[in-house]
Structure 1
Amino acid sequence: MEPDAVVVGTGPNGLAAAVTLGRAGLKVALYEARKTIGGGLRTEPIFDPEIEHDICSAVHPMAVVSPFFRQFDLASRGVKMLRPSVSYAHPLHNGLAGLAYRDLETTCAHLGPDGERWRRLMQPLLDHSQALVDFVLSGQRSLPRNLSAPALLVSRMLAHGTALAPRRFSTEVARSLLTGVAAHTVGKLPSLASSAVAMLLGHLAHGSGWPIPEGGSARIADALARDITARGGAFHTDHLVTNLDELPRAKLVLLDIGPETFTQIAAERLPAGYRRSLARFRYGPAAAKVDFLVSEPIPWANPAVGQAATVHLGGTQDEMFRAETATAAGIRPEKPFVLLVDPASSDPSRAKPGRRPVWAYAHVPNGDAADPTAMVTACIERYAPGFTDTVVHRRGISGAAYQAYNPNYVGGDIGAGAMTLWQSLMRPVPRVDPYRTPLTGVYLCSASTPPGPSVHGMSGYLAALSALRREFGIRTPPDLGPR
């Protein structure tokens, strides 16, 4: 029997789309180029069969707050999200460090003269957290009924995303603590887009936290896959789709792929105007990743940093501004921003005696082919003297090589598109329905569509809702709860 719908790509958005379509009663077939599903949610051993590494994403603040995952309810499906008492840390020179505790008051108490300023920045966002999250994770084509959350966001974007940013705090600890979150945008700093990301992720650090799934990111993908197969969905792995014509006949096709790959597999079927619009889509800097197998916990100069699973290694605010802006301009900085994840600090099950996983990635220019191993190792050593002596194995993946792992990461851009303000709102092309393409029954649902990168499932969910309305006349969103 032919499927009602086909989904190409099984990253978090492809899986979310398939869950939504299956819950609406459609028979779904999913196609994945690799042997395992998950996209950015893969977890597998690299150096030791007993130690699993998250191959891409590892920390998931959006997977507990997005509208899709709030309905899907990972906890009820056996996925335990572990929330460190310190959501993220930012070490500085001479043993100084900024610590973003889940408890806002504790964070403020450790920020000294900037504590009250931090409270005034974060508390209103926490008071309107769900409205803020729902606004940012919407299709971004209409204003919400309640404008209080957007107003809070815009006022803070203007204060922290412009040349005024260095004046907002009096201490380097507070300035760097916020700027490290803004650097998740992987682009020029400061900017309005990076400030929006800092407000979104920054306030969640003091709310639902920055959790990691017990056992690794693949547990999220597994839960989504179980729901799909329970409703008759079928997975076809190790199957690279090179042309839309090779897919089975179905009324609906959802593509968890980027504009560049879509242009390739659609061949000459795309209208020239739409093809030109896709060609204008721009990609951001790359991530160059190093996986480590270490023999003991990281010997941070400030031991409190070890309480966080996520650590930003970027130095001062000015150093991050210069490094990120240079990277966005295609210049490889001498000391790039590095994001490190130490999952065993919050999930002891990830470690065995004398063996534990650590990974870190540096921001480098798009397409950078240099091995990042020495550079990233030196950066960690700067804030954790003796780290090198704990390393048992290491493996570097250049920014350019990341595209071979996932074609959506063009040139190593793990955000699947530059996070400028315009492109954040109008990705992949300026259309009323950004998911619908000119091809009948064909929709895009990757992170190159709104609301953009991160594991939230919303691009897949919103694309599926659009397709259900237009292709099947189903206007009521299906129930996603664990029944």
Structure 2
Amino acid sequence: MTLLDAVVVGSGPNGLAAAVTLARAGLGVRVLEAQPTAGGGARTLPVPELADDLVFDLCSAVHPMAWASPFFRAFDLGAHGVELVAPEIAYAQPLGGGRAGLAFRDLDRTADGLGPDGDAWRDLIAPLADSWREVTALALGDKRTVRGMLEGVRGGPASSAWGAASAVRPGLRFGAALLEQGGPRWDRRFLTEEAKALLTGVAAHAITPLPSYAGAGTALLLAALAHADGGWAVPVGGSQAVTDALVRDLEAHGGTIETGRAVEDWHDLPPARAVLFDTTPRAVLSIMGDRISVPRRAALRRFRYGNAAAKVDFVLSEPVPWTVPDVGRASTVHVGGTRAEMVIAEDAVANGTHPDRPMVLLSDPGVADPGRVRGNRRPLWTYAHVPAGSTQDLTEAVTRQIERFAPGFRDVVVGSRCIPASHMELHNANYPGGDISSGAASIWQMFARPTPAPDPYQLAEGVYLCSASTPPGPGVHGMGGWHAARRALLREFDIRHVLGLAPA
């Protein structure tokens, strides 16, 4: 049997980023994917039981990091035929009494809408939005090396003293904001419920009790990107467009991908000099067994998985009838009510119970991409936070929560289906128990995932982990794959210089 240079197990954004990087270095690369289609958390699929002519994003739907991450900036999705569109309002937070917080692409407009909290919003977010390249590079770094932490600052790979110096001030600002918003002082900055809830809704993406440093880091990065160049972008046609661009580039450089190819044991792997796993640590341990050292196996077993999301897809006959019409101009809506209500909901999930009013993330792709609407039918994407392994159908709970801020929502629902948290891993094995972050989003695990080892990617000679269970963590950014692939190029193939990622 022919010896391959590299095999990548799993075809999520990180696995494909790794495969593209290796293939562009001239290596023979094969990607193995257990599902019938490639993409992992970035897939867009028909749901025949709901509608014959609509498609639904299986997991991620809105992608601020698909344009902002150093990997995708180098790859240049636009040059690969992917159109990213961002609505004028990046995200919204409906409240009772006809009120809502609105995050416009224009930061000043956002601040003006927050009244007495406008200056406080500018003071917190504007410096981060102005330095989004540095902030993103730091947030999406390898959490181990200076070069890896500064990749993508302004001029590309940040190996110079200038690169490090240029990131110092944004890094200090981000750190100060993180300490403020992640700790007991988080309630001191804002006076209005609109401003408090607007930032808290973004922090809730981390599925963690609030306040928390992991939630604060998530909120500050994503809020900054909402006001930066690309906003909270939606790929035209759905998340699959990003995956398809990566697959095309892989194949153009000689790589191959096999779908429907499960790997359950190392004997299922074709012979290769390097194997990169876009999987959970649990899967690597199951597949590779004693080929990984005893200390490393013990460390990987201590990796903690987090709480979960249940997905509810809807088909609507018309847009959601929000009480505040401007909420309907946002592709993303955080449906959780006030800051206090969201804190209660996330605490309940952390304590293993289902909140009466769950935290719901909602995306109406037709707002930014009208082509997703067919006649009088439109897809609506929602997640509700639940305890890990939940078997509950959340359709009614999500419907009630939306109805609070959009009376008459039930009347526009044509059809719905729920994927309980316990079933999420049937669609993506990297979501055990419905953990869409592939690991608990604690501040420790944001830095020390999957273990505190100096190299978080190499597990054994020729064996690497490159999934969201490695730094920098969850999101469609490709950085885990990029970091791991470049280590493999150096250590397994002695390749120090790699072709650029943009199309020729």
SS of 1:466 mapped into structure 2:
helix
Shift of 1:325: 2.1
Determine if the alignment matches structure 1 residue 384 to structure 2 residue 387: no
Q: Percent identity?
A: 51
Match of 1:226, SS state, is helix
Contact 1:13 1:458 in 2 (8 A): yes
Q: What CA distance in whole angstroms lies between the structure 2 residues aligned with 1:328 and 1:276?
A: 25
Tell me, in whole angstroms, the C-alpha distance in 1 between the residues paired with 2:144 and 2:416: 44
Residue of structure 2 in register with 1:229 after alignment: 251
Match of 1:13 in 2: 14
1:291 and 2:313 matched: yes
**Residue matched to 1:163:** 184
1: CA distance, partners of 2:52 / 2:353:
38
Where 1:300 maps in the other structure, the secondary structure is: coil
Distance 2:486 2:409 in 1: 48
- The match for 2:141 among 135, 138, 141 is 138
1:194 aligns with 2:215: yes
Deviation at 1:389, TM superposition (A): 0.9
Q: 1:425-475 CA deviation, whole Å, 9 max, x = no partner?
A: 01001111100002x201000000000000000000000001001011112
Segment of structure 1 superposing worse, 396-405 or 458-467? 396-405
Counterpart pick for 1:71 among 70, 74, 77: 74
Q: Confirm or deny that 1:353 pairs with 2:378.
A: no
* Pairing partner for 1:343 from 365, 368, 371: 365
SS of equivalent to 2:272: coil
Shift of 1:353: 1.2
Quick one: distance in 2 between partners of 1:181 and 1:478?
36
Runs of 4+ residues over 4 Å off in structure 1: none
Residue 450 of structure 2 aligns with which residue?
428
Name the aligned partner's letter for residue 257 of structure 1: T
Map of 1:311 onto structure 2: 333
SS at match of 1:363: strand
Report the alpha carbon displacement of residue 149 of structure 1 after superposing the two structures with TM. 2.0
CA distance in 2, matches of 1:357, 1:156: 36
Equivalent residue runs for 1:35-54 within 5 Å: 35-46=36-47, 47-54=50-57
Deviation at 1:77, TM superposition (A): 1.2
Select 1:148's aligned residue among 169, 191, 211: 169
Query: Is the counterpart of residue 447 in structure 1 residue 448 in structure 2?
Result: no
Number of residue pairs matched by the alignment? 482
How many Å apart are 1:122 and its aligned residue?
1.1
Amino acid at match of 1:18: A
Q: Secondary structure of 1:251's partner?
A: strand
Q: 1:17-56, CA deviations, whole angstroms, 9 ceiling, x for partnerless residues?
A: 0000011110101100011101011111112221111111
1:77-125 CA-to-partner distances (Å, cap 9, x unmatched) read 1100011000000000111000000001110110000001101111111
Q: Which residue of 2 aligns with 1:128?
A: 131
Q: Match for 2:32: what amino acid?
A: Y
After TM superposition, give the deviation of residue 329 of structure 1 in Å. 2.5
Checking the alignment, whether the CA contact within 8 Å between 2:309 and 2:383 is kept in structure 1 is yes
What SS does structure 2 have at the residue aligned with 1:94? coil
Q: CA offsets, 1:247-284, max 9 Å, x none?
A: 11110111100011111111333322211111111111
Rounded Cα–Cα distance in structure 1 between residues aligned with 2:401 and 2:73: 37
- Quote the Cα distance in structure 2 between the aligned partners of 1:205 and 1:133: 12
Q: Which amino acid aligns with 2:302?
A: R
Is residue 480 from structure 1 mapped to residue 501 from structure 2 by the alignment? yes
Shift of 1:295: 0.6
C-alpha distance in structure 2 between counterparts of 1:75 and 1:400, whole Å? 36
CA contact (8 A) 2:24 2:498 kept: no
| Counterpart for residue 415 of structure 2 | 393
2:478 counterpart letter in structure 1 = G
**2:27 is matched with which residue?**
26
CA distance in 1, matches of 2:169, 2:499: 29
Task: Assess if the C-alpha contact under 8 Å between 2:458 and 2:465 holds in 1.
Answer: yes
For 1:437, what is the secondary structure of its paired residue? strand
Pair 1:411 & 2:412 matched: no
Q: Is the 8 A contact 1:14 1:256 kept in 2?
A: yes
Q: In structure 2, how many angstroms separate the alpha carbons of the residues matched to 1:323 and 1:213?
A: 30
Question: What's the CA shift for 1:127?
Answer: 2.2
Residue 461 of structure 1 is aligned with which of 461, 474, 482?
A: 482
2:285 & 2:3 partners in 1: Cα distance?
25
1:251 equivalent in structure 2: 273
Q: Does the Cα contact within 8 Å between 1:137 and 1:451 map onto a contact in 2?
A: yes
- Match for 1:315: what amino acid? G
The answer on whether the counterparts of 1:43 and 1:217 sit within 8 Å (CA) in structure 2 is yes
CA distance in 1, matches of 2:318, 2:242: 27
One-letter code of the match for 1:112?
G
Give TM-score, length-normalised by structure 1: 0.98
Return the offset for 1:148.
1.5
1:135–1:149: 8 Å Cα contact kept in structure 2? Answer: no
Deviation at 1:476, TM superposition (A): 2.0
RMSD: 1.0
Partner SS, residue 164 of structure 1: helix
Which of 233, 256, 259 is matched with 1:211 structurally? 233
- Structure 2: distance between partners of 1:36 and 1:173: 41
State whether residues 24 and 501 of structure 2, in contact with CA within 8 Å, keep that contact through their aligned partners in structure 1: yes
Query: Does residue 1:174 correspond to 2:177, yes or no?
Result: no
Q: How far apart, CA to CA, are the structure 2 residues paired with 1:19 and 1:435?
A: 17
Give the unaligned 5+ runs of structure 2. 151-163
What code does the residue aligned with 1:402 have?
Answer: M
User: C-alpha distance in 2, partners of 1:406/1:69?
Assistant: 22
CA distance in 2, matches of 1:127, 1:477: 30
SS in 1 for 2:332: strand
Residue 103 (structure 1) aligned to one of 85, 103, 106: 106
| One-letter identity of the residue aligned with 1:57 | S
Matching residue's letter, 2:8 = V
* Deviations 1:113-157 (CA, angstroms, capped at 9, x unpaired): 000110111111122211111111110113452322221111001
Query: How much does 1:191 deviate?
Result: 0.8
Match of 2:156 in 1: none
Q: Judge conservation of contact 2:264–2:286 (CA < 8 Å) in 1.
A: yes
One-letter amino acid of the structure 2 residue matched with residue 317 of structure 1: R
Corresponding residue to 2:298 among 254, 264, 276:
276
Out of 111, 115, 119, the position equivalent to 2:122 is 119
- Residues 1:83 and 2:105 are matched in the alignment: no
The amino acid that maps onto 2:124 is L
